[in-house]
Structures are given as structure tokens and as C-alpha cells.
Amino acid sequence: MTSPVSSAVPVQVSPTRETDKNGTSQMSWPKVFVLFWRAEFKRYFSRFLRRNYAGPEEVSFYYNVRYQTAVNWWDGVNAPNGSATSMADAMHPGCLREMREEAYRDWVGGNDRAA
């Protein structure tokens, strides 16, 4: 008797290069990772702030936001918009890439279907 063949499709665990109809190529992350990244970004941004700033007061000063907004970012209640994240990457070059890579490692580690 032959052993059954698994019908499970392995989850892609790294970005792939996709080409559109015009021949333009770009890197693309697996959709499930993109959804994870969107949902968890506030947690990774909070970690980044805690590693790089003394507290919400300093975050409020450097990002020119209300103190309560800085507290919410610090606590991971919500995440900043695009302009604040680009400011973070300008002040700390590569920080967004590092956050994304950390999230990706967490996602792959928590994804039991990852191959």
C-alpha cells in the first residue's frame, strides 16, 4: 500500500519577485505575512521606541505629536501614520527594515506550516 500524499500547500516564507503585465518587477511578501504585519505593527513600533527613546515625553518632542499620542505609541495601543514612520526611518536609518525582519522571524517561528 502506498503512503498518502499530503495535499497541504506549504506557506511561502520569503519575499518573491513578481512581474506585472508591463514587465515591472518588484518584491512581494506573502499576503498572510502582510496581514500579520499590519495587525502587529503597533507592537513592533512600541519596541522600537522603547529601545531608542527615554520615554513618551521624548517621543512627543521628536515626532511633534501630543503627549497622549506618544503614550499610545509607547504602550502599543496604536501605531503612527506614514509620515511619522518615515521620520523614524530618517532618524534611525534601517529601523523599518529591522522591525519588518523581526516581525517576519516571529511570523515564521509562529507559523507551524512554514517550510
For residues 14 and 115, the model is more confident at: 14
Q: For the chain, which residues make up each domain, given as ranges?
A: 42-108
Confidence of residue 27 (pLDDT cuts 50, 70, 90): low
Percent of the chain with pLDDT over 90: 52
Dihedral of the alpha carbons of 70, 73, 77, 83, in degrees to the nearest 10: 110
> What whole-number distance in Å separates Cα of residue 108 and Cα of residue 72?
27
> What whole-number distance in Å separates Cα of residue 109 and Cα of residue 107?
5
* Whether this model's pTM surpasses 0.85: no
Q: With a cut of 80, say whether residue 111 has pLDDT above it.
A: no
Residue-wise pLDDT tens digits, 39-73: 899 999 999 999 999 999 999 999 999 999 999 99
Helix or strand (DSSP H, E) at 47: helix 31-52
> What whole-number distance in Å separates Cα of residue 63 and Cα of residue 36?
25
Residue with cell 503597533: 42
Instruction: State CA 54 to chain mean position distance.
Output: 23
